Amino acid sequence: MKIVVLDGYALNPGDLSWDGLADLGDLTVHEHSTADQVIERAAGAEVLLTNKCPVGAEQIAQLPDLRYIGVLATGFNIVDVEAARSRDIPVVNVPTYGTSSVAQMVFAHILHLTQNVGHHATTVSEGRWAANRDFCYWDTSQVELENLVLGIIGFGRIGRRVSELALAFGMSVVTATRDGRAPDATGIRNVDLDELFSLSDIISLHCPLTPQTEGIVSAQRLSLMKSTAFLVNTSRGPLIDEGALLSALNDGRIAGAGLDVLAIEPPKANHPLYGAKNCFITPHIAWATGAARTRLLDTVVDNVRAFAAGTPQNVVN
């Protein structure tokens, strides 16, 4: 069985092993590929694995040996699943590897926004504490999380894990579920979406990107937020109207934002949000802990093994 990985570098820049996949067939790993390289590089492959390199209907039609497409991630919008289905090719993803790591990044952003540890550590290293008249100083408001309201949009595995961490900090949690049912947990209640924006001290996004959720954080909804509230996004960039967020931040209509994703990745060098007031952007790394990437790669191997055994798992089409 010939196995080709189109763009393996993000998952494994060298600290993990591809041996598990190599044990299952003749393995070729490319660190990066472009869409116009797919047909040449995947020629003869029965198993094709991709992370962000698109595999569309045109490529699928020209790969007669292809029997399986695996995504090295949870999102699978880079594959034409209908074209694969028409060929009886399963498209397989990895649905649960990053729950704990993404939830941890949510609170990394929340704690940074509320206490600015990095900034204050920098001022100490620059000598400011040593020269200070008083025994302490702070440049930004120090915000306690206990009794604050965390609004979670998207209450799947990651959203639920974030809620558990929030409750441990003594926060209360509101959600806006599609079916209107309250989650089965003490300290969590369901509200409508606009009410979530107006009630929350911090909002964290965890919903998939669909036509219904694209731009869900709009200018109108940002106008409902408290001026002291923060927005955190570790899900998908296009959930936010970035122009509206830029205005809300610079006009002081919300207090700050922590973003691990943007609408276009990688972004342009002059992205407007780089200079936005109290906006902190990390380069889509919530998923990238060693533990999460190890789980991801282990599941990729399990997925291919299950397919080879005739019992494919995690099929999305």
| pLDDT band with cut points at 50, 70 and 90 for residue 177 | confident
- Give the residue-averaged pLDDT of 151-168: 96
Helix and strand numbers, DSSP H then E, in the chain? 11, 12
Predicted local confidence at residue 186, as pLDDT: 73
Distance in angstroms (rounded) separating the CA atoms of residues 271 and 126: 29
- Copy the structure tokens of residue 59: 């490529």
Residue 206 CB-half CA count within 13 A: 26
Entry field: residues in the chain: 317
- Copy the structure tokens of residue 183: 């989650």
- Copy the structure tokens of residue 281: 């952007």
Residue positions annotated with a catalytic role: 236, 265, 284
Non-local (6+) Cβ contacts of 165 within 8 A are 103, 106, 107
- Give the residue-averaged pLDDT of 81-99: 96
- Give the residue-averaged pLDDT of 82-111: 97
pLDDT in tens, 258-316: 999 999 999 999 999 999 999 999 999 999 999 999 999 999 999 999 999 999 999 99
Distance in angstroms (rounded) separating the CA atoms of residues 307 and 310: 5
Distance in angstroms (rounded) separating the CA atoms of residues 252 and 259: 17
- Give the residue-averaged pLDDT of 219-238: 98
Distance in angstroms (rounded) separating the CA atoms of residues 282 and 35: 26
pTM for this model (two decimals) = 0.93
What are the structural domains, with CATH classification, of the chain?
Answer: 2-97+290-308 (3.40.50.720), 99-281 (3.40.50.720)
| pLDDT band with cut points at 50, 70 and 90 for residue 163 | very high
Is residue 228's pLDDT more than 80?
yes
Distance in angstroms (rounded) separating the CA atoms of residues 38 and 217: 35
Phi, psi of 122 (to 5 degrees): -65, -45
C-alpha distances in Å from residue 113, one per residue of 110, 202, 254: 5, 10, 12
Predicted local confidence at residue 182, as pLDDT: 61
DSSP state of 166: H
- Give the residue-averaged pLDDT of 32-48: 97
Distance in angstroms (rounded) separating the CA atoms of residues 96 and 74: 8
Predicted local confidence at residue 181, as pLDDT: 66
Identify whether 266 is preceded by a cis peptide bond (ω within 30 of 0): yes
| pLDDT band with cut points at 50, 70 and 90 for residue 227 | very high
Predicted local confidence at residue 139, as pLDDT: 95
- The mean of the pLDDT values for the chain is 96
Distance in angstroms (rounded) separating the CA atoms of residues 86 and 84: 5
DSSP assignments along 28-95, one per residue: EE-S---GGGHHHHHTT-SEEEESSS-B-HHHHHT-TT--EEEESSS--TTB-HHHHHHTT--EE---
Instruction: Decide: 206 and 156 in contact? Cβ < 8 Å.
Output: yes
- Copy the structure tokens of residue 78: 């880079």
Distance in angstroms (rounded) separating the CA atoms of residues 169 and 97: 24
Non-local (6+) Cβ contacts of 315 within 8 A are 90, 91, 92
The closest alpha carbon to 279, from 304, 316, 244, 311, belongs to: 244
More confident residue, 208 or 71: 71
Predicted local confidence at residue 184, as pLDDT: 64
| pLDDT band with cut points at 50, 70 and 90 for residue 180 | low
